Amino acid sequence: MESNEDVNIDQKNFMELICSNALDWGKLDILAVGRDSEQNLLGKICAYFAALGDKSGNRKADAVWVVLTPKHGDIADAILLGLNKGFAEAYDLMSGGEATKDIVAENLDFLTLVSTVSFDGDALLTLLAEAPPRTGIIVVDAKYYRFIETRKDPAFETAEDEWSAHVHQMLLETNKLCAQNNSYVLLHLGDYLPSRPKNRDILFSIEDAGVLALDVPAEDVDAVITRVEKWHEAAKAGKLGAVIRDVDEDQDISDLTRVLTKLELLNIGEYFTEIQTLLKENRSLLDDLTFDRLLHVARIAEAADADDFAESLISKVVDQIRSETDFVIAFNTALRIGRSGLIEKIRIPYSRLYPNSEMLHRYEADLASQNADFSLASEIFSKLPSKADSVRSEYFGLLAQETDGTNWTPSEALVSISDAMKEKAEVVVVDLARALERSGRRIEAFQFLLQRGADISIPQVNSLIRIAERAVQSGELLPDDQAVEKLLDIALSSLGKNASNGGLRVRIADLFAPNIMGGTGYATLMIAVLKRANVPSAIRPRPKISDRKPAIEIDEVMPHFKGVMQWLETAGYGRLIVGEQILPSEQLDVPADQFLSALVKLVDHHGAIMQDDGDEKVLQMYALVACAVAPLSPEPDEDLSVLRTIGSRLASSGRTQSARDIAEQALKLAGERPERRRQALFTFADIYARLGMRSEALVALGAAFEASGDATWDQVWFETNLLFRLLRDSGMSELGTSLLDLSRQALGAMGVLDRDGYRVDMFELQAALSTFQSRGGSTDELDQLMDKAMKNALAVTERSDDPLPISMILSALLGLAFEKGVTDTKEIELLIEGLISKLPDSKKSLVNAAGPHPTLADIAAVASSISPARYVEDTGYDVRHIRVMACRLVQQAVSDVDPMSLIYAVEASADRAIKVMSLDGTPLVVERLLDKEDRPKVAAEKLSGEGFAIVGMALLENQITTIEFNNGNVDDVCLEPEKTFSVDALSKWSEDFPRNYMLDDQEFSHDMMAASLEGLGLTKLPKKCIVVSDAKLSRLPPNLLRVEGSYAGFSHAIATVPSLEWLTASRALDRKGAGGARMWIPASDIQDDTAPLSLMKGELVDILKENQIPLETTGQPSEQFGTSDVAIIAAHGGLAESNKYFRSISDDSHMLKNVSEVTSTIKPSRLAILFICSGGRVDPHPETGMAIGLARQFLIRGSSAVIAPAWPIPFFIARPWLDGFLKEWNSGSLLIDAYHAGNLSIANNTSWDPKRTLAMTLYGDPYLRIHSVD
């Protein structure tokens, strides 16, 4: 073909052009016929290349090479299939249908098929150079090849820009080869011609290259880029509403493009809640996306904290990715998600297809630096082309020198490197700490970072927290060490300066969580806050309330409110976003402070009577208006007061997720002023405390005190009240009472002590009530409390204040009166009745449910009013009151022999903070059983009809009550006598057990074990059953229950489940099993054949081999677990306290393993079998009552069932247990039967010692089989 000739063709004249232009020796052509076009077209081209003859009647080509793409996924097979088909069709056409299969095969053999191992362009050129003269070469999908010499323009805006540049480089190099070798090359582009003129121009700039292209409508990419850039810039400038309006009104884009564009824009604005909503609403639309667009959706989903969904999208398409641009998107997203299994799933094909990828080399260098291998990091960066890479190479080279050997001093290395490279003065601190930790000097690394004190940067404090967590897990740092307190001081100070840094806030809370710090963590947080609260704030003057301008009348508010809303809708082009717009002063014709004061009253009033979604939307509008108007006020932070009030009202109305959103919004609006940061952090803390999320509230409140030492008396009032509530809810009411003098002082300074002093009286009542409930008291003391409460109720009524808090106090006192046999309660009952009448229906149910005689209808009404949590771990906080109410319901259910109420109470106290996850990372949506009175009973009846009994267990004062369902019916309701089972016995047992069952027979005999379980039995139990109970009761493995004089686990097959709702969802998902199994025992640095895991490995080798179960001994489980139905893991387990809270897993050398990484890697497996000490134990969370434990974490990540020991086990029980289990499992038995067979196998092959035989527990869906039965 003539050079620079662009021939647009259609299928009809395609072969004519091939015949007339192909095999022009010394030349090359480009074929541009579509994106990954159908491969039979390629076969036809090959056929004509093979058939074309010269004037002498010989083949025109001495050889025809087809350079196929590297094998990846199913693509290579599809190309070969299409090639063969197209080749046959072409010969059939050329011969008029007379070509036999032998003739076609003979000519097909003339082709030489060559598969490249990667898309390394330079390796491709080496291959092409080996072709003999007069060889026709077809390079398939040429656009994917990458060349080191390609000029990389930093202004690349699209994927097309990048591949066009590489194709241009290919043309330059291939053109020379064709001339030198007298060969012909056809570059099968694998795409249409570039849409952008500048990219077409560079392809046409090669004189000897011809172009054959299908004529397709060209997209005006430049126009699209210009339009999208305009949208992005507007969104960054705070005009997101206007931008989205333009997108909605643009008729030139499809619905799919509209959704994708909105996702991108919302991502720019960090409106992650709306992103999650948009993803949910358009899930079916997203199913039709091409894989490259799905990658962009995954990128945005990750940013919106939908990591599981993002991972599922990437995993779904990883085998389809071929372009480096797409690999970069997938790999970057995987790195942000941070799950090693996903990272490796992408890295392996990426590195194979693009071995010269600069991104991968940088990743390898970063990985080397994280492992403190600074020499390797320096070497890798030295080979990369950018100036920044050269600087990093120099930096890591210095680090390598300064940290060489074992006796280097971090302070000296810091000075040396900082002097040489001042711009690295902050980051070097983190890298030096990492080097210390990697060389076995973890505590020194911790102290090195701790010494930074107030000068610490955010990356440094994050590193300090991570190192501290590992030090605590490894036992090198004790939770009560003074250094931990100093760490908290530094972290709270950093958060006070960076109020909107949610990641830092969560890391602090996680570090002091019970599974890391045990019970010490919460105490440390509380002490830190009290220490700061005891430092008097410098009072910032503000007029007394009587001297402030009065709020405008309520009936005058609405016209101004509507005016502001109209302006906001116009300015935001119909999109209303809190904090995005500031109202111009001329738009408000009343003083802003008076308007805001009235708005606070409106919020308080409207929130108190809120009943439905419409009311919630009104509160959201108040938030919009407050944030727009507050900057005009002399008190510009009053918008945060409005947000706090809204969050409070949402929390008390069951709109818990919306309340959390308001709290997060307050932090987004924190700004830079210290006083505003303090107010924003306090707002967050106040709302979270009302949600029961006390640890995070303490973190935020501590940071608030750090943010600024100044406060108004208004702030002192609210902050002191918050601290009182936190102490009260933590069981420290007496300590909280000591703060109330400061509350009164604050009211006096504001000039409203006489008016509002009853509020402090109410706090004192709450403290006294809490003390009475925990310690008891006389009838006279109770009478005095009731008198004070009734007087306080009258004050509340006189002030037209919210009657809900005092109604709850009176209801609780009435319940205590009934318990003590007080009969003269008519006055208090009438008072409660009058107060309740002033409440909306939703809150009437709340008071009734919290009263002495809650009805099932009342509790179900409260449960149905609670909004779903966005994150499942928040659910336990949202339903904590339901659990308390359910305890009261048990008494009535037993008295009335009411199965419906009893199983409802059991379900309400069960673990609701676990959702069944589908493989795409989204929770399975099922009916919320607690929303309706009868649903738990219906669920139990249905589940019991599937093969074995459902047993609900609930605690009632000092006894246990059980309810059994068999064959779809209620079979029995039983209240066990205290001598059979008592809560006192359970509490005593929990002090030392189950952990101490690890002791050998000499230290802990069979008789001692039997004695430890005295008073922990049942009269009867179905032989095969599923137990549902609360986490407090779940601490006792049901295998150990004494039934008919023996341990239940010997003769009964028992499974426990988080809740009936969870099991219903698991049954509805009905995941199918693939049948395969895989085992992981983490490798250890020590070479000790007598170490427990080494011994276990030796014991299991033959059983694993016999059952064709691969064994991995790498540092982390591989992505191969993603295809295994059963994941078997052996490791050491550690507790946060001597007998509480599972904390960590490790290898024989005590090297910690990332629990989150492990659970994420094996989540596709339906069943996890854990030979991990205490991996099956369950403890109640101190704030929510939900379960804490390793097995639970596996269920959360997506496993359907977990089998693990409730206490430490000897290595040798793994062999008999696994042998017995696999025989039953592989025969098709139900999981519960196979599990029980494993336990009995220990008994039959070692001994009937219950410390060994009954350690393994089954948690999760017991209906699984190796192959699902239809």
User: Nearest 5°: phi and psi at 282?
Assistant: -120, 30
The residue with tokens 């003098």 is: 741
Q: What is the reported pLDDT for 880?
A: 87
CB 663 within 8 A of CB 647: yes
Pairing label, strands 1140-1146, 1126-1137? antiparallel
Pairing label, strands 1017-1018, 1024-1028? unpaired
Q: What is the reported pLDDT for 156?
A: 67
Q: What is the reported pLDDT for 53?
A: 83
Kindly state the tokens that stand for 760: 């402090």
Q: What is the reported pLDDT for 293?
A: 87
What single DSSP character describes residue 981? B
For the chain, residues with pLDDT lower than 70 are: 1-20, 35-39, 72-77, 154-156, 215-228, 231-232, 235-238, 573-574, 919-921, 1085-1086, 1267-1270
pTM of the predicted model, to two decimals?
0.89
b/e per residue, 1086-1120, with b = 16+ CB within 10 A?
eeeeebbbbbbbebbeebbeebebeebeeebbbbe
Q: What is the reported pLDDT for 976?
A: 94
Q: What is the reported pLDDT for 74?
A: 61
Residues 6+ apart with CB under 8 A from 167: 30, 142, 143, 187, 189, 203
Q: What is the reported pLDDT for 14?
A: 60
Cα distance between residue 729 and residue 697, in whole Å: 12
Among 679, 738, 732, 771, smallest CA distance to 525 is for 732
Cα distance between residue 923 and residue 671, in whole Å: 35
Kindly state the tokens that stand for 480: 């009560």
Q: What is the reported pLDDT for 6?
A: 47
The residue with tokens 């309006």 is: 245
Evaluate the CA torsion angle 384, 389, 390, 394 in order and state its sign.
negative
Kindly state the tokens that stand for 358: 């600069």
CB neighbours of residue 13 within 10 Å: 11
Q: What is the reported pLDDT for 377?
A: 96
Q: Which fold has domain 6-219?
A: Rossmann fold (3.40.50)
Which secondary-structure segment (H or E) carries 382? helix 374-382
Kindly state the tokens that stand for 782: 């109770």
Give the count of alpha carbons within 13 A of 273, CB side only: 11
Residue extents of the structural domains in the chain: 6-219, 859-1064, 1072-1260
CB 731 within 8 A of CB 694: no
Q: Is residue 352 classed as helix, strand or coil in its secondary structure? A: helix
Q: How far is CA 266 from the centre of its chain?
A: 20
Q: What is the reported pLDDT for 211?
A: 83
Q: What is the reported pLDDT for 1164?
A: 81
Given this structure, which CATH class describes domain 1072-1260?
Answer: alpha beta
Q: What is the reported pLDDT for 1212?
A: 92
Which secondary-structure segment (H or E) carries 883? helix 880-895
